[in-house]
Amino acid sequence: MLEIRNLHAVIDGSEILKGLNLTVNAGEIHAIMGPNGSGKSTLAKVLAGHPTYKVTEGEVIYEGRNLLELAPDERAREGVFLAFQYPIEIPGVSNANFLRMAYNEKAKHDGREELDPLEFDDLLKEKMKIVEMDSSFINRSVNEGFSGGEKKRNEILQMAVLEPKLAVLDETDSGLDIDALRVVANGVSTLANKDNAVILVTHYQRLLNYIEPNFVHVLYKGQIVKSGGKELAMELESKGYDWIKPAGAKA
Amino acid sequence: MQQAATEKENYFSAYKLFVRTREGKDPAWLNELRSRAGSRFEALDFPTTRNEEWKYTNVAPILKVPFRQVFDLEPGAVKMAAIEPYTYAESRTSRMVFINGLYAPELSDLSGLPKEIVVTSLAEIPQESNDVARRHLGAYASYEEETFTALNTAVIGDGAFVHIPDGSMVEQSIHLLFVSTAKEPIASHPRVLIVAGKGSIASVIESYVSPGEDIYFNNAVTEVFADENAVLNHYRLQEESERAFHVATTRIHQKRDSNYTSYSISLGGEIVRHNLNAVLDDEHVETTIDGLYVVTGKQHVDNHTTIDHREPFCNSHQVYKGILDGRSRAIFNGKIFVREGAVKTDAHQLNKNLLLSGGATANTKPQLEIFADDVKCSHGATIGQLEDDELFYLASRGINPEMARALLTFGFAEDVISKIKLKSVRERLDRAVLDKLHQSLEIE
């Protein structure tokens, strides 16, 4: 589904990703871990197409197409989804309107039928159960006045509505209390299936107590330096990141 | 100044003519009020950009046009169908219509109002309301130094007089609809007096519309008096032709425990100036002054507001938001005074401008002048464009850039519109803002 080869990316002139390689197949959950500043969030934003990050080298093949050629909104309609580390507030636009608009844009693209407000309301109610959200959230402005946990849940709700093929979760677990973490993790587990793939970008192993990844990768100084199974995450939790520095890498 | 004098001549002779037409028709106090204002108008000059308060707004283009002033309405000139789009469901039977500033009874419908509520033309004040009108008309909108207000006051004729007696509650909204339509350039001087009695509850919509794209000039003055414990919601919707000139003053005077909320919306007009001045003249007054302006093309809108905290324990909230496109210009000048002794004042003011084009200009000047201790005051102003991060967030959900910009712009306005309590006013504004920005968003 996703093939990243020798990816280099810069922001404001400094190179953050320095030759990253990663292969993700349908039905897989990948966790990408690494210390602060290793490039985890940059990878997430590059995949979604954030305009301030420039790809200088390498390629990203998604479903057989060059992902980097697509505008951010095209990527989203093709099934790429980024759950933001810091979701944006949109005053004056209700969650319901926003979600329906996003849903219908994708439906149009996929050749499916668009939903009117009433039909969409039914769908939304179902999806809200997944993230245990109160119905009052539907009519509130997108993320405005939401707590940190509510914003993250709202990201998962959007994921549930849009049903992406490739979901990238950028530190969705950071700063969550145990209840919110459980809800977010349940949401992701519920939505993961054999046809889609999930990349969990995280700083902590804690989330992986709730979601079992097929692969764990360690990102360090812009490269994936180690890959393994769930046990790698445990090892990182107990030993920290220091031991992982590759022999050949300059500290 | 010589130049101003010749430009004034047109208005002054119209005033003289008007006074003759009203001879013997009005109470003596009204004649005297006009005459005092007329003298002030004769003595004053129209403001120029050398005047600090008019620095950004040049009225010379307005004064250059040889506007005709009419004081008689041609019956049947405007059909009901033409004004239908500007009416509101909440005020079907509580609506006063004015054509070019003149009261049009055949287009008005006041049948739904309780008997004790006075909604009438200032030219036909009923005997029992005479004292109330005399006490309040011209008492707040000072014409001593304000040329436009002096002119308006000098020609008070068919204006709107709304009196909610003590303890009365009006379910419907009272709609004062000012329609401008003319084959030739006409200057009108709409006048409104709203007196909300003790403990009364009411809402008033004051709207300025034009079915065509005519050139005309509205010089409007509205006075609002909210007596003890009165609750008044005031919606001022300016949807003039984009070739129209609109200069207006709104003066609010509040007594103890009164609660006044105003939404001042400005969408139309080529040159628009609105002075809004609220005096919190007693303790425990609550004042909310919100505004929204959306300007495109070469439109120019200037909002000058003053909130005057004269007594202790009063709260005021003000949010003015503006959307500017094309080569438009918007000015916000907001003063808050906290007078000596006005302790425990809680005053907040915010002006936010969204620039959609590089050619648009916003000037904003929030000012706080505090002469009392133990107060809580804040003010702020922003001028900005749509944020890349906001646009990216929407894009990442599959929303195309054009829709994303439309949605964020709409949301910016909606922040003010959504607070409006009247559903049909909200819906009308949603539609008007989207139309104005040529954006076809499907919003429920």
Interface probe for A, chosen from B396, B418, B442 (most Cβ of A below 10 Å), is: B396
Residue range B285-318, pLDDT digits in tens: 999 999 999 999 999 999 999 999 999 999 999 9
Q: Give pLDDT, residue A251.
A: 40
Q: Give pLDDT, residue A151.
A: 93
Higher pLDDT, A65 or B437: A65
Q: What is the mean pLDDT of chain B?
A: 94
User: In terms of Cα–Cα distance, which of B147, B186, B184 is closest to B14?
Assistant: B186
- Distance from the Cα of residue A115 to its chain's centroid: 26
Pairwise CB contact (< 8 Å): B400 & A87: no
CATH number of residue A168's parent domain: 3.40.50.300
User: In terms of Cα–Cα distance, which of B252, B168, B242 is closest to B206?
Assistant: B252
Please say whether the dihedral angle defined by the alpha carbons of residues B387, B388, B391 and B394, taken in this order, is positive or negative. negative
Q: Give pLDDT, residue B182.
A: 79
Q: Give pLDDT, residue A238.
A: 81
Domain count, chain A: 1
Rounded percentage of chain B residues whose pLDDT exceeds 90: 89
Backbone φ, ψ for residue B220 (5° rounding): -105, 145
- The rounded distance, in Å, linking the Cα atoms of A102 and B395 is 9
Pairwise CB contact (< 8 Å): B396 & A72: yes
Residue range B303-357, pLDDT digits in tens: 999 999 999 999 999 999 999 999 999 999 999 999 999 999 999 999 999 999 9
Residue range B208-244, pLDDT digits in tens: 999 989 899 999 999 999 999 999 999 999 999 999 9
CA distance A241 to chain B (A): 31
Domain assignment of residue A6, yes or no: yes
Please provide the DSSP assignment of chain A as one string.
-EEEEEEEEEETTEEEEEEEEEEE-TT-EEEEE--TTSSHHHHHHHHHT-TT-EEEEEEEEETTEEGGGS-HHHHHHTTEEEE-SSPPPEEEEEHHHHHHHHHHHHHHHHTPPP--HHHHHHHHHHHHHHTT--GGGGGSEETTT--HHHHHHHHHHHHHHH--SEEEEESTTTT--HHHHHHHHHHHHHH--TT-EEEEEES-SGGGGTS--SEEEEEETTEEEEEE-HHHHHHHHHH-SGGGS-TTS--
State mean pLDDT over B91-116. Answer: 95
Residue B444 pLDDT exceeds 80: no
Domain assignment of residue A112, yes or no: no
From chain A, pick out residues whose CB is under 8 angstroms from the CB of B418. 92
CA distance B398 to chain A (A): 4
Pairwise CB contact (< 8 Å): A162 & B404: no
Residues of chain A with pLDDT under 70: 245-251
Q: Give pLDDT, residue A250.
A: 45
Per-residue b or e along A141-173, where b marks 16 or more CB atoms closer than 10 Å to that residue's CB: bbbbebeebbbbbbbbbbbbbbbbbbbbbbbbb
- Distance from the Cα of residue B305 to its chain's centroid: 11
Q: At what angle do helices A117-130 and A178-191 cross, to 10 degrees?
A: 120
Domain assignment of residue A33, yes or no: yes
Pairwise CB contact (< 8 Å): A92 & B396: no
Domain boundaries, chain B: 2-282, 389-444
Residue range B105-116, pLDDT digits in tens: 999 999 999 999
Interface probe for B, chosen from A46, A74, A101 (most Cβ of B below 10 Å), is: A101
Domain assignment of residue A73, yes or no: yes
pTM: 0.88
- The rounded distance, in Å, linking the Cα atoms of B47 and B62 is 12
Residue that has been written with the tokens 């190179």 in this structure: A15
CA distance A246 to chain B (A): 35
Q: Give pLDDT, residue B439.
A: 67
Residue range B146-163, pLDDT digits in tens: 999 999 999 999 999 999
Task: Write the CA distances from A34 to A242, B139, B156, B300, B442, integer angstroms.
Answer: 10, 71, 76, 54, 43
**Nearest residue in B to A52, CA atom:** B388
Q: Give pLDDT, residue A246.
A: 59
> CB neighbours of A235 closer than 8 A, spacing ≥ 6?
none
Pairwise CB contact (< 8 Å): A81 & B396: yes
Pairwise CB contact (< 8 Å): A105 & B392: no
Domain extent, residue A237, equals 2-87+147-244
Residue range B38-51, pLDDT digits in tens: 999 999 999 999 99
Residue B89 pLDDT exceeds 50: yes
Q: Give pLDDT, residue B1.
A: 45
Interface probe for B, chosen from A41, A78, A84, A88 (most Cβ of B below 10 Å), is: A88
**Nearest residue in B to A163, CA atom:** B397
